[in-house]
Amino acid sequence: MKRFFKWIGTGLLVVVLLGGSFAAHEWYADKPFYFNNFLNREMVKVAFDSPETLTSLGFLESVGIKGHNSELDDASPEKGEALFDKARGIRQVIVDYDNEDLSKDELLSKKITLYLLDYLIGNEPFQYHTYPVNQLFGVQNGFPSFMQGQHQINDATDVENYLSRLGAVDEKFAQVLEGLKLREEKGIIPPQFVITRVLDEMNGFVASPLNENILYSSLKEKMADIETLSQEQQDEFLAKAEARINDDVNRAYQLFIDYFTTLQAKAGNDHGYWHLPDGDKVYANALRFFTTTDMTADEIHNIGLKEVARIQGEMMTILEGEGYDVTLGFTKAMDALAADPSHYYEDNDAGREQILKDYQTILDEIEEGMSEVFRIRPEAGMEVVRIPEFKEKTAPGAYYQQPAIDGSRPGRFFANLYDIKATPKYSMRTLAYHEGIPGHHFQIALAMEMEGMPFIRKMSPFTAYTEGWALYSEYLAWEMGFQDNPLDNLGRLQAELFRAVRLVVDTGIHQKRWTREEAIDYMASNTGMALSDVTSEIERYIVMPGQATSYKVGMLKILELREKAKTALGDKFDLRDFHDVVLKNGAVPLAILEELIDAYIQEKQV
């Protein structure tokens, strides 16, 4: 609990839980005395209205509060629509706080919060322009992952709560289905391939033997570590879990299977958002949100083309130096590199286990060298784990999961080991730096641990900043000498090329009306990536328009601002100072990041 109070940055919740007239005022007043109290209070209310969020945050359990772990979130359309009224109310109160009464940091919090609220409110007309059940995410794979990765099992009460959630899953699926039908009425129907992927995933989940079902095997594995549970108790709990999986869970999945089977006849093969009602407006809105800029799709597309050409040129120089024939062009040279078996691990369990160990070694190594360029680092540890096998076929190559607030769970770098050839040895350092240290783990865990920062700034979803930082971290690690092997540097450049290609294909699909196949062909021809990775990536961009452009846009901005600071400060420039400014304010829109760097420059020049 102590770590949560430090993380949330206020004693307000402590006082509320203990009682007190001042605390009561701050909790119930339309406008609390202290601005940060208002921001934190509203975010705490949002968290307390989401049982799944409370489970993920993991702070109430340490004081014996576990009731929320028996419930699932309300996923009904009515709940989602009420969010907009809530947002307008919060915005009005924020505006009522006079800027002259706020500190410098509170003014920053006000600006960031208004940015988020204005986007949310402005997006209300397009709230159903999404595919909430798709091959990457959705309740159909999110629920099993949540139960396996977030729901802790430490005693019999935790098991009872687990079983309760299994019994509630059919209601949640029914709520999601209401939203899917509303989208269908509005003409928001996912492309054919999305429905095919989702049906394959759900049919496979339902058909899998009980001992391979992650909802069953995860519970069994977690209970085995609890000394206070006898084998007889465990068997009884497992029997109940089996019954609920066969009844409530499978009924929920069958509801979706039946719906998507029927919907398939209405789905087409136009893949870009341009084909949806108001699709051009929705895509422009998505680009504004994910890049936090006013760049147009054409501007982003052209930047991508230029960066692709530049990075490929650098890669060809390395390939030639390593003895590869570059006379036949980039694709052939990369194919020759990919065909060399020495770059891959054994395609078996032992090989995959070795990948995880080597990732951890890479991260342990770079962590030792961080003091040269960082003054701060997170208290939370980090571990490397495999993406659950039931969903790795359509999952991304890797992703990061933030640590629990109370320290019960470290940050986690999830690695996709489905296709062994998608993990060449020369690409591992770059991926580890991006997802782990000094990438996502440094930035996200540090923000969570920052004292005095409002809750909303610890969790703000500015992808251009967070992914831009992670991509910048790959470049920084190379500058520091951690990728001095030419092929490791080639892996870094290939990863950067991948993000540059994203600028081209995302705008190509949603603005220039490229087909899925055209986008796959462009990415495969210009990255040298495994076809399995290329296919899943392009399919990701189709269901998440705009998001993929944020990485490269964010990285370019951070590098631009670093160069701006170096030029302005000369000998006074210290990279550690720059990183402090970038990291100590949490995730921010890129325009606000520039304001922060300008203020830092001005302060240093005095």
Please write the tens of the pLDDT for every residue from 293-302.
999 999 999 9
* 310-358 residue pLDDT tens: 999 999 999 999 999 999 999 999 999 999 999 999 999 999 999 999 9
Indicate the range of 30-34, 279-283, 467-471 predicted with least confidence: 30-34
Per-residue pLDDT band at 606 (split at 50, 70, 90): confident
What pLDDT score was predicted for residue 128? 97
- What CA–CA distance (Å, rounded) separates 28 from 406? 27
Mean pLDDT of 141-159: 94
Kind and range of the H or E run holding 382: strand 382-386
Residue 449 has pLDDT above 70, yes or no: yes
- Which pLDDT tens digit goes with each residue over 40-67? 999 888 888 999 999 988 778 877 889 9
The predicted-structure confidence for 379-433, as pLDDT tens digits, reads as follows: 999 999 999 887 787 677 889 998 877 777 899 999 999 988 888 999 999 999 9
Q: Is the pLDDT of residue 7 over 60?
A: no
How many Cα atoms sit within 13 Å of 14 on the Cβ side? 11
Pairwise CA distance, residues 81 & 76, whole Å: 9
Beta carbons within 8 Å of 512's beta carbon, 6+ residues apart: 297, 301
Q: Of 110-114, 237-241, 377-381, which range is least confident?
A: 377-381
Tokens describing residue 527: 């990255």
Whether the per-residue pLDDT at 14 is higher than 60: the answer is no
The rounded percent of the chain whose pLDDT value lies above 90 is 82
Indicate the domain borders of the chain. 32-270, 284-553
Mean pLDDT of the chain: 92
What the block records as the tokens of 24 is 């009561």
* Residues 6 or more apart in contact with residue 109 via CB below 8 angstroms: 35, 36, 39, 454, 456, 457
Q: What is the mean pLDDT of residues 549-565?
A: 98
Q: Which of 409, 412, 419 is nearest to 360 (CA)?
A: 412
pLDDT > 70? residue 4: no
Nearest to 27 by CA among 6, 48, 53: 48
Look at residue 498 and give its three-state secondary structure: helix
Confidence class of residue 17 from pLDDT cuts 50, 70 and 90? very low
pLDDT of 31 over the 80 cut: yes
- What distance in Å separates the CA atoms of residue 592 and residue 582, rounded to the nearest whole number? 11
pLDDT band at 243 (very low <50, low <70, confident <90, very high): very high
Q: For position 394, what pLDDT does the model report?
A: 65
- Is the pLDDT higher at 342 or at 528? 342
Q: How confident is the model at residue 3 (pLDDT cuts 50, 70, 90)?
A: very low
pLDDT range class, residue 251, cuts 50, 70, 90 = very high
Segment 170-175 shows an average pLDDT of 97
Position 9 scores a pLDDT of: 39
Read off the pTM.
0.86
Q: What is d(CA 480, CA 583) in angstroms, rounded to the nearest whole number?
A: 19
3-state secondary structure of 118: helix
Contact 423, 415 (CB under 8 A): yes
Q: Is the pLDDT of residue 99 over 50?
A: yes
